[in-house]
Amino acid sequence: MRVPALLLTVTAFAAVACAPADQAPSGPTAVDGVACSKDKLPTLTPGKITFGTDQPAYSPWFVDDDPTNGKGFESAVAYAVAGELGYAKADVVWTRVPFNAAVQPGKKTYDADINEFSITEERKQAVDFSAPYYDVDQAVITLKTAKAAAAKSLADLRSVKIGAQVGTTSFQAAERLSTEQDVAVYNTNDDAKAALRAGQIDALVVDLPTAFQITSAEFADGHIVGQIPGGDGRPEQFGIVLDKGSALTGCVSNAVEALRSKGTLGKLEQEWLSSAGTAPELR
């Protein structure tokens, strides 16, 4: 009896020591649901949770550039996470945070920022990420009239002029194509689309849901060439960004995991990103 008891104690110790403690050094731990409740969470405004996202916020992640309507995948996820932590819809406050402002050191204007941030080890040095809420693929889109429309393989894309938005993992995926010409880099996907229209680039790399959005709703003659395989074999994942060392990280992560196990994330994906998953995988 003695040995198992000891083992149990050790395991319990280990669990307590490594799970939430290093993520949330001050503030309540994220182990039990009680401490992760609305009245205990040290948010910017007590009793409210402030989500940040960029402006404009694009479909299908948000709808009509209005994060407060609960429409679009990320808006819906934000409200679901808030609900999981005990916040009513009225307790959720939105603020607009440009991409760079979201990751700069210093006082944050948000509790959690949801803005298609891909989780990488390097970025974890600067900010906290929640558990991933979406596995994202990168895709190449073009116009039916462009020469890239005929591409069937990664090799066919070598000679194509590719563009992508700066600071995105789409750009990194575009670089992985190692095309003959340098990748053109744009401030926003809107600029990249203008360049595609103007014929300055032949194809554009965006994440798959955005690819479906552009080719189905924005460009009548848009065409998805296919998906680009991931860099290191692991799926690329979106996470909610929190301040480095934020006391909320553990709770937000728990909420995301709870939503996943309940099947809510899958349902929201179905609802807002339903057309995803039908583009051919390029090899």
Partner 1 sequence: MRISELQRERLAYQRSRSRRSTLVALLSTAVFAVVGYLTVTSAPGWPRVREAFFDVDTAWRALPAVLEGLWLNLRVLVVCGVLILVLALGVAAVRTLRGPVWFPLRVLATAYVDVFRGLPLIILLYLVGFGLPALRLSGVPNDYVVLGGAALVLGYTAYVAEVFRAGIESVHPSQVAAARSLGLDPRRTMRLVVLPQAVRRVLPALLNDFVSLQKDCGLISVLGAVDAVRAAQIEQAKSFNFTPYVVAGLLFVLLAVPSARFADAAARRAERRQGAR
Q: How many residues does this entry show for the chain? A: 283
Applying CB under 8 A, the span of 71-79, 163-171, 216-224, 260-268 interacting with partner 1 comes to 163-171
Tell me the closest approach of the beta carbon of residue 145 to partner 1, in angstroms: 11
* Least distance CB 278 / partner 1 (angstroms): 29
15 belongs to the binding site for partner 1 (CB under 8 A) = no
Does 238 sit near partner 1 (CB under 8 A)?
no
**76-135: contacts with partner 1 (CB under 8 A):** 99-100, 103-106, 120, 122-123, 125-127
Our CB check for partner 1 shows the closer of 47 and 98 to be 98
- Work out whether 191 is an interface residue with partner 1 (CB under 8 A): yes
With CB under 8 A as the rule, give the number of residues binding partner 1.
33
Give the DSSP per-residue string, the chain.
Answer: -HHHHHHHHHHHHHHHHHTTTTT-SSS--SSSTTTTSTTT---SSTT-EEEEE-SSPPTTTSSTT-GGG--SHHHHHHHHHHHHTT--GGGEEEEE--HHHHHSSS--S-SEE-S-PBP-HHHHTTSEE-S--EEE-EEEEEETTSGGGG--STGGGTTS-EEEETTSHHHHHHHHT--SSPPEEESSHHHHHHHHHTTS-SEEEEEHHHHHHIIIII-TTEEEEEEEPPSSSSPEEE--EE-TT-TTHHHHHHHHHHHHHHTHHHHHHHHHSTTTT-SPBP-
Candidate list 37, 96, 195, 260; residue touching partner 1; CB under 8 A:
195
144 binds partner 1 (CB under 8 A): no
Compare residues 163 and 226 and give the one whose CB is closer to partner 1. Answer: 163
26 touches partner 1 by CB under 8 A: no
Q: How far is the CB of 186 from partner 1 (least distance, A)?
A: 6
The verdict on 187 binding partner 1 (CB under 8 A) reads: yes
| Closer Cβ to partner 1, 58 or 79, answer by number | 58
29 binds partner 1 (CB under 8 A): no
138 neighbors 235 (Cβ within 8 angstroms): no
Interface residues toward partner 1, by CB under 8 A: 99-100, 103-106, 120, 122-123, 125-127, 163, 166-168, 171-172, 182, 184-187, 191-192, 194-195, 197-201, 244
